[in-house]
């Protein structure tokens, strides 16, 4: 069986790491490389976290550093949920890390460090352009973080959009909900200008919004116990690194658990049957500063007469997602 080729673009924190593991351990997926962008954690920490994840999977994958800042905005580290909330409520144009959710190191602050690190001389943008030019329509792109690297690729060579087999984007929401503000999901909020470029390109995109995560990829006691019962280093790793997220979920919502936006996106990229309902439509990204910054406005009735190049996932199969997750950590 010929493996399907993936390139993953990530801001590797605790949920990205699980998604990367799912791809690396799937028998039908060949990960050609991983590119890193600032988001959950600063760029260098994201690179270290990615190496740590590939080591757990006992694979050596080429990892390329990309954008350390959004296209047009400053980026700063924020460590506490209270400070992050205050920053968002101030309507500051500055973007911020997600370390208040994933831990200062992005991996639950467990002290996980890679034994081997090799910094590639080629940057993420050049690697992406070279890869898609070399094998047009052969490589699937899965994005798990802010879309800065991909926007830079399109700014440098917009023809690349037609050479990417398909692009799965973890970002935005299909129902207007937000996990940063009332309206915006984190990945789009960090760099709405980049998302606007990507969503208005000729890329064929499947958008898996955060609403799919909290509705269909929420792991609570029963699911966490099922993972722990496998007694593998992969299962333990996937749960252990959610430590900070579990603490915040318990404090904020009163239950033990966590949701996995990046892994459900990866599950959909691996197996489209995880999608139960979707709609091909146009998505508008709000780039204005204010309470709606980073909102993904899904134009279900084509009021804007825009390019309907985005398949928006509105319902996912929780059972199939969990099966894919469990199979990857056995």
Q: Is the pTM of this model over 0.85?
A: yes
- Locate tokens 């990615």: which residue? 50
| pLDDT in the model for residue 166 | 98
Q: Phi/psi zone of residue 91: left (φ > 0), alpha (ψ -120 to 50 degrees), beta?
A: left
| pLDDT in the model for residue 279 | 96
What is the sign, positive or negative, of the torsion defined by CA atoms of 191, 193, 197, 199? positive
Domain total in the chain: 1
| pLDDT in the model for residue 306 | 79
Helix, strand, coil in percent for the chain, rounding step 5? 40, 20, 40
| pLDDT in the model for residue 252 | 82
| pLDDT in the model for residue 4 | 98
Helices marked H in the chain: 14-24, 43-56, 81-89, 99-102, 124-134, 148-156, 186-190, 192-199, 210-216, 221-229, 233-240, 243-253, 261-270, 318-329
> 3-state class of 40 per DSSP?
coil
Helix (H) or strand (E) holding 139: strand 139-143
Contact yes or no for 264/217 (Cβ under 8 A): yes
| pLDDT in the model for residue 107 | 98
What's the domain range around 148?
4-329
The DSSP output letter for 79 is -
> Computed over its alpha carbons, how large is the radius of gyration of the chain?
18
pLDDT digits (tens, 9 = 90+) for 258-287: 999 999 999 999 999 999 999 999 999 999
> 3-state class of 315 per DSSP?
strand
CATH number of the domain within which 312 lies: 3.90.245.10
Low-confidence ranges of the chain (pLDDT < 50): none
| pLDDT in the model for residue 245 | 94
Which residues, 6 or more positions from 34, have their beta carbon under 8 angstroms from its beta carbon?
A: 7, 8, 9, 10, 20, 50, 54, 61, 62, 63, 64
């Amino acid at each position: 069986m010929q493996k399907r080729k993936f390139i993953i673009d990530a801001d590797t924190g605790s949920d990205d790491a699980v998604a990367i593991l799912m791809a690396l351990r799937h028998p039908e997926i060949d990960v050609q490389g991983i590119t890193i962008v600032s988001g959950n954690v600063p760029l260098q920490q994201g690179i270290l976290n990615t190496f740590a994840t590939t080591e757990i999977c006992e694979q050596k994958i080429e990892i390329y550093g990309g954008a350390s800042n959004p296209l047009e905005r400053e980026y700063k580290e924020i460590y506490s949920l209270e400070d992050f909330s205050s920053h968002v409520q101030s309507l500051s144009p500055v973007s911020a890390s997600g370390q208040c959710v994933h831990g200062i190191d992005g991996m639950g602050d467990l002290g996980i460090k890679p034994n081997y690190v090799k910094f590639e001389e080629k940057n993420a943008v050049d690697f992406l352009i070279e890869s898609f030019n070399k094998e047009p329509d052969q490589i699937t792109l899965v994005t798990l973080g802010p879309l800065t690297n991909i926007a830079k690729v399109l700014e440098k060579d917009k023809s690349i959009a037609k050479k990417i087999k398909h692009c799965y984007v973890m970002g935005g929401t299909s129902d207007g909900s937000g996990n940063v503000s009332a309206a915006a999901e984190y990945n789009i909020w960090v760099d709405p200008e980049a998302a606007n470029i990507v969503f208005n390109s000729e890329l064929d995109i499947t958008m898996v919004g955060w609403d799919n995560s909290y509705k269909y990829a929420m792991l609570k006691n029963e699911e966490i116990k099922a993972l722990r019962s496998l007694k593998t280093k992969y299962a333990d790793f996937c749960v252990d690194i959610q430590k900070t997220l579990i603490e915040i979920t318990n404090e904020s919502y009163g239950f033990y658990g966590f949701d996995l936006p990046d892994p459900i996106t990866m599950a959909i990229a691996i197996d489209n049957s995880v999608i139960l309902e979707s709609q091909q439509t146009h998505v508008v990204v709000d780039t204005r500063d204010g309470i709606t910054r980073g909102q993904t406005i899904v134009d279900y009735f084509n009021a804007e007469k825009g390019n309907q190049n985005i398949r928006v996932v509105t319902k996912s199969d929780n059972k199939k997602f969990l099966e894919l997750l469990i199979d990857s950590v056995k």
